[in-house]
Amino acid sequence: MKQIQDIYPMLATPRKVVITMHQKPDADAMGSALGLYHFLIRFGHSVTVISPTKWAEWLKWMPACHEVIDYEYNPEKGNAALDQAEWLFCLDFNTLLRTRSMAGKLKKLSCIKILIDHHQEPESANFTYGASDTSKSSTSEMVYDLIVGSGHADKINREVAACLYAGVMTDTGSFRFPAATASVHRMVAVLKDTGLNHSKIHENLFDNFLENRLRFTGYVLEHKMDIFYEYNTALISIPWKDLVRFEIKTGDTEGLVNYPLTIQGIKMAALIIDRDEEVKCSFRSKGDFDVNAFARKYFEGGGHINAAGGRSGDNLEQTVQRFMAAIKENSSQLQ
Ligand code: 5GP
Ligand code: MN
């Protein structure tokens, strides 16, 4: 993988470009993809954004989100764009497997592939150019670095700013995580100078849900959360029938895993959800307990030191039992 700076001199030449991101995109995956989209179209590139799967309702306010192709829903349209692509940008994932059913197709493509990502251990061999930096707060920050680094800060307009702000704000937990560096705050200052309405974005992302989601949150915290003080760990486990009962949709469980970390002394929180097609796990930690290593070792996953995810081929009960065995094994690091 050659360094991303090598593409800077080629940015101004119009091409057919596809941008993709990880499945079930969060605000950083979608925000970095659409931020890059709004930047690249200003040079006359023909740009298509493809998401491997559908995305949450609360991302739909992002400018041009309605033009994004859902690959699972419309693989023909996605494949047609991919077959034409001269450049393929892969954002906010380290392994092609994170693009689910697109992975085989992406691997086979012979176009120039460019990675921009902040997860650990990227599959560098799959990419022609790339930037991989785990010290970065978000992929949105890295897209901003590309824009400014290539000398095109003047191309940052309100659309670019809104998308990148959404990504950096959510991936830093509203600027509270250590990755919210001075550079991140300087980036936000530049975005504000373009006319960014940050209050509106917070409202779009956090005050834009349906009643069922809040009632579901209350139910889950009351009935589905267990605290294991001896391991400073909390677990929320949710059966499929509860998702059906509360009409829970893609993205509605985002953020749930953070609640237990608000309890004094809790160092690690896990959310295990039976999504019918698979059991999905999310892990969060405070301090130096490495949930990326934990997710890799026990749940076929990965992520960052304080936020990671994974999955399990077992049913919900068996997965919970495996989780309990895993935290016992790690009890010395959780004390
Ligand atoms: P979440 O718990 O919000 O799904 O994911 C937290 C973090 O872990 C995100 O940075 C996400 O990209 C990463 N992550 C989630 N699930 C997986 C997975 O199955 N594999 C890998 N490698 N990373 C994951
Ligand atoms: Mn991210």
Is this model's pTM higher than 0.85 or not? yes
Helices (H) then strands (E): counts for the chain: 12, 13
Q: Are residues 57 and 192 in the same domain?
A: yes
pLDDT for position 175: 97
With a Cβ cut-off of 6 Å, ligand 1 is lined by 22, 95, 282, 301-304, 307-311
Q: Are residues 239 and 181 in the same domain?
A: no
63 alpha carbon – ligand 2 mean position (Å) = 19
Say if 335 falls within a structural domain: no
The total number of structural domains in the chain stands at: 2
Residue whose tokens read 């559908």: 54
Say if 316 falls within a structural domain: yes
Assign residue 261 the CATH number of its domain. 3.10.310.30
Q: How do beta strands 307-312 and 302-303 pair?
A: antiparallel
The closest of 6, 18, 304 to 146, measured between CA atoms, is: 6
Q: Are residues 161 and 71 in the same domain?
A: yes
d(CA 170, CA 185): 14
Q: Are residues 231 and 89 in the same domain?
A: no
**Domain final position from 140, 175, 206:** 206
pLDDT tens, residue order, the chain (335 aa): 999 999 999 999 999 999 999 999 999 999 999 999 999 999 999 999 999 999 999 999 999 999 999 999 999 999 999 999 999 999 999 999 999 999 999 999 999 999 999 999 999 999 999 999 999 999 999 999 999 999 999 999 999 999 999 999 999 999 998 899 999 999 999 999 999 999 999 999 999 999 999 999 999 999 999 999 999 999 999 999 999 999 999 889 999 999 999 999 999 999 999 999 899 999 999 999 999 999 999 999 999 999 999 999 999 999 999 999 999 999 999 99
Domain that holds residue 118: 2-206
pLDDT for position 104: 97
pLDDT for position 327: 98
Assign residue 120 the CATH number of its domain. 3.90.1640.10
184 alpha carbon – ligand 2 mean position (Å) = 14
Q: Are residues 149 and 289 in the same domain?
A: no
* Residue 22 near residue 115, CB atoms below 8 Å: no
Residue nearest to atom 17 of ligand 1 (CA): 309
Q: Which two tokens stand for residue 122?
A: 């990227």
d(CA 291, CA 288): 9
What one-character DSSP code corresponds to residue 261?
A: G
C-alpha distances (whole Å) from 144 to each of 59, 76, 127, 283, 320 are 20, 31, 20, 28, 40
**Domain final position from 206, 224, 250:** 206
Q: Are residues 154 and 172 in the same domain?
A: yes
Say if 334 falls within a structural domain: no
Q: Are residues 196 and 140 in the same domain?
A: yes
Atom number in ligand 1 closest to CA 271: 2
Q: Which two tokens stand for residue 293?
A: 């290593």
The closest of 243, 321, 233, 254 to 277, measured between CA atoms, is: 243
Ligand 1 pocket test, pick from 91, 119, 142 with the greatest ligand atom count within 8 Å of Cβ, gives 119
Q: Order of strands, edge to edge, in the sheet holding 46-51?
A: 2-3, 129-132, 112-117, 87-91, 16-21, 46-51, 69-70
Q: Are residues 226 and 320 in the same domain?
A: yes
Q: Are residues 137 and 58 in the same domain?
A: yes
DSSP secondary structure, 271-300, as one string = EEEE-SS-EEEEEEESTT--HHHHHHHHSS
**Domain final position from 149, 173, 206:** 206
Say if 153 falls within a structural domain: yes
For the chain, the distance separating the N- and C-terminal CA atoms, rounded to the nearest angstrom, is: 40
Q: What is the rounded radius of gyration, in angstroms, for the C-alpha atoms of the chain?
A: 20
Q: Are residues 32 and 180 in the same domain?
A: yes
Q: Are residues 219 and 86 in the same domain?
A: no
What one-character DSSP code corresponds to residue 314?
A: S
Say if 40 falls within a structural domain: yes
pLDDT for position 177: 87
* Residue 98 near residue 245, CB atoms below 8 Å: no
Say if 90 falls within a structural domain: yes
pLDDT for position 173: 92
Q: Are residues 70 and 128 in the same domain?
A: yes
Ligand nearest to C-alpha 170: 2
